Amino acid sequence: MLALECLDKAVCEASAVGQAQAGRMAPPCVGYGTYLFARMCSHGIAAMRAVPHSRWVKTDHQEWGFNVLACHARALLEGNLYFFYFMQRTDESLDEGRARITLLQLNDCCSRLKMFAGSELQRSWFEQQRDELQVRLRSIPFFLKLSPAVQAQCLAGKKAWFLDRAQLVELVGMDKAGFDILWDLWSQHSHIHPVSFLRMEPNGRGTGLECDPDRMYLAVAMLICAGILEAATDRIVEVFPDVAGERKGLDSKFSPGPKRNRRR
Q: What are the backbone angles phi and psi of residue 13, rounded to the nearest 5°?
A: -70, -40
d(CA 205, CA 32): 40
- Per-residue confidence of the chain (264 residues) as pLDDT tens digits? 999 999 999 999 999 999 999 988 888 899 999 999 999 999 999 999 999 999 999 999 999 999 999 999 999 999 999 999 999 876 556 789 999 999 999 999 999 999 998 898 899 999 999 999 999 999 999 999 999 999 999 999 999 999 999 999 999 999 999 999 999 999 999 999 999 998 888 768 889 999 999 999 999 999 999 999 999 999 999 999 999 999 999 999 999 999 999 988
Closest CA to 242 of 15, 17, 14: 17
Residue 256, preceding bond cis, omega within 30 degrees? yes
Determine the Cα–Cα distance for residues 29 and 24; give it in Å rounded to an integer: 13
The CA distance from 63 to 87, in Å, is: 36
> Are 107 and 159 contacting, i.e. CB atoms less than 8 angstroms apart?
yes
> In this predicted structure, what is the pLDDT of residue 90?
63
Task: Report the pLDDT value the prediction gives residue 88, as an integer from 0 to 100.
Answer: 86
pLDDT of residue 91: 54
Give, in order, the Cα–Cα distances in Å from 258 to each of 1, 186, 250.
Answer: 18, 27, 10
Nearest CA-CA partner of 14 in 229, 239, 226: 229
pTM to 2 decimals?
Answer: 0.94
Beta-carbon contacts of residue 44 (< 8 Å; ≥ 6 apart): 7, 10, 11, 14, 15, 72, 76, 225, 229
Cα distance between residue 80 and residue 84, in whole Å: 6
